[in-house]
Chains A and B, each alone.
Chain A
Amino acid sequence: MSEMSKIVKTISNIAFPLVLIFGLYVIAHGHLTPGGGFQGGAVVASACAMILVAYGSVWTMKKIKEKHLSLFESVGAIGFIGLAFLGLLFGLVFFKNFLLGEGLIFSEIGQGLSNINTAGVLPLMNFAVGLKVIAGLFAIILVMAYATNKLKGGEN
């Protein structure tokens, strides 16, 4: 799709960091408040989609290629399954929540309105899934927008 007017670009420039911060907040507090990796990742991906709509797919494709995004997604997925494998290593069961009560990071038991340093590997998994969802959804949107743009241009 082609790029839009200057007003849209300016507004999206202003709104982009706010949406980004909110999405990262949702990811980071997934184990305390409503939300989590998927939801926050969807929020951030929608911010990236807003930039895509404002600036056009050609410009965005110049800035970032979809192969880099898929590499990011692979990293996120490897982090997620790697945490599960670490559970197999340390907790002797696949998907064991091995950080809980170990005295390391995120090791506290959540009680009442508790702080972020709880719930063992859950926040880490939230971050991994968040990275994965951001990269994945943005890659899907970017590739499809670019392809439809080429289709409208008539060159297959």
Chain B
Amino acid sequence: MMSKRNIVGIFFFLVIALLFVIAALTTHEFGHPEKSVIPDMDDHIIDNTQTETGANNAVTSVVFDYRGFDTLGEATVLFTAVAGVILLFRRLKK
């Protein structure tokens, strides 16, 4: 049976689906990102990764040098999760 909640939910799900479909249609063509790129960050990275960071792997140069602060946050997220899990499964008695 369709409760009121489900009807409202389905309707707004259709609206959200419309949102995502429009997003999918108006994004640039798959495989051709050059069209809409204004400041070409990635080509700059690909060209200068060896001279600026000395790494052959551009992804590693991005992860650890250009956006190293994100990686610090990422490592912090993992640290946080471990601390949280150990906190949740701790013993309660001293």
Contacts and interface: CB of A to CB of B under 8 A. Distances in A.
B56 A81 contact: no
A132 B53 contact: no
Interface string B58-86: 01110111001101101110110111011
A143 interface: yes
Contact of A118 (B56, B69, B85): B56
B10 interface: no
A119 B89 contact: no
Interface string A97-124: 1001100001011110110001111100
Contacts, number: 111
B54 A110 contact: yes
Contacts of B55: 31-32, 110, 118-119, 122
Contacts of A49: none
Nearest to A111: B50
